[in-house]
Every structure is written in C-alpha cells, then in structure tokens.
Amino acid sequence: MILLTGVAGFIGMHLARRLLAEGQEVVGIDHLGPCAQPGLKERRLAALGDAAGLRFRRVDVTDGPALDALFREHRFELAIHLAAQTGVRYSSEHPHECVVNNVAGFANVLECGRRHGLGHLVYASSSSTYGANRRLPFREHDPVDHPVSVYAATKRSDELLAHSYSHLYGLPTTGLRFFTVYGPWGRPDMAPMLFANAIAAGRPIEVYNGGHMLRDFTYIDDVVEAVLRLCGRPAEPDPDFDPLDPDPATSHAPFRIYNVGNQQPVQLSAFIDALEDALGRRAERLARPMPGADMAATCADTHDLRRAIGWTPATPLRTGIAHFVEWFRRHGACHA
C-alpha cells in the first residue's frame, strides 16, 4: 500500500494516474485547501475518476493525529510526500503559512513513518534550495546554505529533517529537487498557465528581467517516470561517505537527494516564443524587474539520477508545450 500526499496537486495527480495504471493500491490524501484557481484540485480528482485502487481521504498533513491514524490503519510500505504550500513569491507574503505547511507537515510525515515502520519515504524538494549559488549546472553535491526565499528555506529544512530521521531511526529517505515542472493540469500560479491564460484572452503578460531568466523547464511525464523508478530504490548508506568532507547529497545513513530536471535550460523569452507559436497568438509583453525571491537561473545536473536509475528526460520543450496547449484548449483555466 502506497501513501501519496498532495494527490490533488499537479504532480500528485499525474503520479497517481501512473501508479493506478500499474495496478498499485494508493491512499491519496489532500486537504483541498484554497489555491490560485478555485475548484482546480477537485477537477484534478475528477479527472482521475473512479480508478480502481485509489482511496481518497481528505487529510491535512499538519493534522498529526489524523495522519497517525491513517498510518496505523494502512501500515504503508512506501510514502510519496508531495503536499506543500507551493510558490516562491507566495511564501514571501505568507511566510508563516509556508513554514507550518512545509516544515511542520513534513515533520508529521517523518514521525508517522518512524512510528509505523515505513519502508521508504520519497519527498518533494525543490531547485530553489540552490538559492544564491551561481555555479551552473546545479549539482546535488554543491552547498545549499543560502536560500533566497522562505519557500526554499522550508524545502532545505525538510532535507535536513529527513537526514536526521535517516540517521537516528534508519528511515530511508529520498529527496527530489524538481526543476520548473510544466504540463497539463499545471499550477495556475506558474508561468506556463499564467502566460497561456493571458495570451488566449488577449491580455498582456508580465515578463521579469527582460525575459532573460534561465529556467530548466521539465515536462510532467518525465518527472513522473523519475519518481516511479526511484520509489523502487530505497536510499542506502553511501559506503564512500567521508565525514571529513561530507557530501550534501549522500550520507552514512540511508539518505539521498537527486535533481530532477530537463538538463536543457532556456531563456524565459524563448519559452514564451514557443508558447505563442503553439497558441497561434502573440503576446504584449510588459517588462518587470525580477522579484527578490526569484533566482536568475536554474539548470540541473542529473548525472547522479542517470547513474542510479538510467533516467534521462525524453520530452523536448516544444513537444511538451504542444501537449500542454492541446490540453489547455480543452480544459485550461480560462475555460473553467
């Protein structure tokens, strides 16, 4: 039995669909709280339909007793933790909410896993943890001690908490630093959906830093494939771990961190060009300064992931955008 938190989220919905297609039994939880587009989470759940093997429960990970009861009932072998308060800019305006959901909620998942003999915890981290680091591509072995957003700080805190549980209690934990995931049913607060809605409606779009921000856009199907492969490989102690020169990505404990990115970053302006081409409309672009919580560039080094599970991203940017636009024309937010 698999626990999937954040099942009504963007990645959660797609991951649930794949797990169920492979015959897995999944308990999916979500608190169905407010998001940038009302009703979106419910629509994602409806898209999953009455799939055999899915048991949905409305549970908030910040509710420790409710989560503990769920673990006691099902004795999960694997937990995939995706529930979070997302949004770099949102976290700047609502820092306490972000900390409670992302850190306290994750601590509840870890503690329930410890108490109830969880076999493996896979959890979502973020490329934002690289923060003020300017050396590209980002490697899991680089220091990540200078976050530039509250959201990034919460995700780095999760990684540190995971390591402590791996060390103290032997709980295998695998953290995944996702890089700008996009695709059908994507988050309404992220660039692809924001831009698509505006372009389709003939509204101008706000483009930060002259469109010169570099992003490693990663298509959702590639992300799901990486998560699924890693679920079957619980983290193990690194026999080469050197406590005199500790590697942030590995440990003497069953702990591991991987980048999940496309490895082919593009300028934001080029992403907009491709989106305009797919939609068949041009956008009026309003220049805006880059917010202080944003990073100028992200680029993933995924050599470790390739060595571990043989994974490489399979979806070129324009192919992914075409899939996204095809979905958007049928189900996008502007048609809700």
Could you read off the pLDDT tens digit of each residue along the chain, which spans 336 residues? 999 999 999 999 999 999 999 999 999 999 997 765 668 899 999 999 877 789 999 999 999 999 999 999 999 999 999 999 988 888 888 899 999 999 999 999 999 999 999 999 999 999 999 999 989 999 999 999 999 999 999 999 999 999 999 999 999 999 999 999 999 999 988 889 999 999 999 999 989 888 888 999 999 999 999 999 999 999 999 999 999 999 999 999 999 999 999 999 999 999 999 999 999 999 999 988 888 778 788 999 999 999 999 999 999 999 999 999 999 999 865 443
**Global pTM?**
0.95
Q: What residues are labeled active site? A: 151
Run of H or E residues at 153: helix 150-169
CA pair distance 260, 178, nearest whole angstrom: 5
CATH number at residue 250: 3.40.50.720
CA neighbours closer than 13 Å in the CB half-sphere of residue 152: 20
When divided into structural domains, the chain yields a total of: 1
Q: Which structural domain range is residue 318 located in?
A: 2-335
CA pair distance 88, 213, nearest whole angstrom: 15
**Max alpha carbon distance in the chain (Å)?**
58
